[in-house]
Amino acid sequence: DADVTQTPRNRITKTGKRIMLECSQTKGHDRMYWYRQDPGLGLRLIYYSFDVKDINKGEISDGYSVSRQAQAKFSLSLESAIPNQTALYFCATSDLNSYGYTFGSGTRLTVV
């Protein structure tokens, strides 16, 4: 099993719909992150959490919300999806002893 698992892998949704992307990890890491990837713009941070009671906004949090249900689970929600939220979304984990991040395989979201 992968260290960081994202579901679904692909999703097509309609404008205005609520959608949740899920992330779970078996690394035992305290820190979890949600990134968005668009062509030519690299990875941009949406939200991050350093432990279950900690939630922080990243550089592009507008239109998104998150929930850290447990140390191992961090979900990203789009309350009312819009077409410019079409992107590849990555969850990542880390802790003080890790070298950089461990990424999931990504969720490709298309909003039509």
CB 72 within 8 A of CB 25: yes
CB 93 within 8 A of CB 35: no
**Mask 7-36, x = binds other proteins (CB under 8 A)?**
------------------------x---x-
Instruction: Pick the binder of other proteins from 106, 109, 110, 112 (CB under 8 A).
Output: 106
Longest distance between any two alpha carbons in the chain, whole Å:
41
Beta carbon of residue 92, minimum distance to other proteins (angstroms, whole number): 8
| 70 binds other proteins, rule: CB under 8 A | no
| 45 binds other proteins, rule: CB under 8 A | yes
Structure tokens, 59: 């550089």
Selection from 77, 64, 68, 69 nearest residue 21 by Cα = 77
Residues that bind other proteins (CB under 8 A): 4, 31, 35, 39-45, 48, 90, 92, 94-96, 98-106
